[in-house]
């Protein structure tokens, strides 16, 4: 994160990749995963263990993120926050 003055600046820089991944999930009828969910998941898992990640490496991890990993992570968050999971207008949780 040497080239960024804050986490917020870094987040804003990779936000297009986060947005793109969310749109990919939406095309697969998964609309409950948000940009912040992807950021938080990667920040607390793979990025937490990594040192000196480049912007390109971070974007690559976002774009190669598996839907199943995000579904498990977000499901746990939704249960804690009591948010509903819906698919095509039907409540799943």
- The answer to whether 21 and 61 have CB atoms below 8 angstroms apart is no
Asked if the model's pLDDT at residue 88 lies above 70, the reply is no
Domain edges within the chain: 7-91
- Regarding pTM above 0.95, the answer is no
pLDDT value at 89 more than 80: no
pLDDT tens, 40-87?
999 998 888 877 888 999 999 999 999 999 999 988 877 776 655 555
* 62 within 8 A of 14, measured Cβ to Cβ: yes
Longest Cα–Cα distance of the chain, Å, equals 44
* pLDDT attached to residue 75: 82
Dihedral sign computed on CA atoms, order 57, 68, 29, 91:
negative
* C-beta of residue 32 within 8 angstroms of C-beta of residue 85: yes
Mean pLDDT of 2-27: 91
């Amino acid at each position: 994160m040497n080239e960024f003055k804050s986490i917020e600046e870094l987040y804003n820089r990779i936000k297009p990749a986060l947005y793109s991944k969310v749109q990919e999930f939406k095309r697969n009828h998964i609309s409950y995963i948000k940009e912040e969910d992807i950021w938080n998941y990667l920040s607390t898992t793979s990025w937490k263990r990594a040192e000196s990640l480049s912007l390109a490496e971070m974007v690559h991890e976002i774009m190669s993120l598996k839907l199943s990993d995000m579904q498990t992570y977000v499901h746990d968050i939704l249960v804690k926050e009591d948010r509903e999971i819906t698919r095509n207008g039907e409540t799943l949780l």
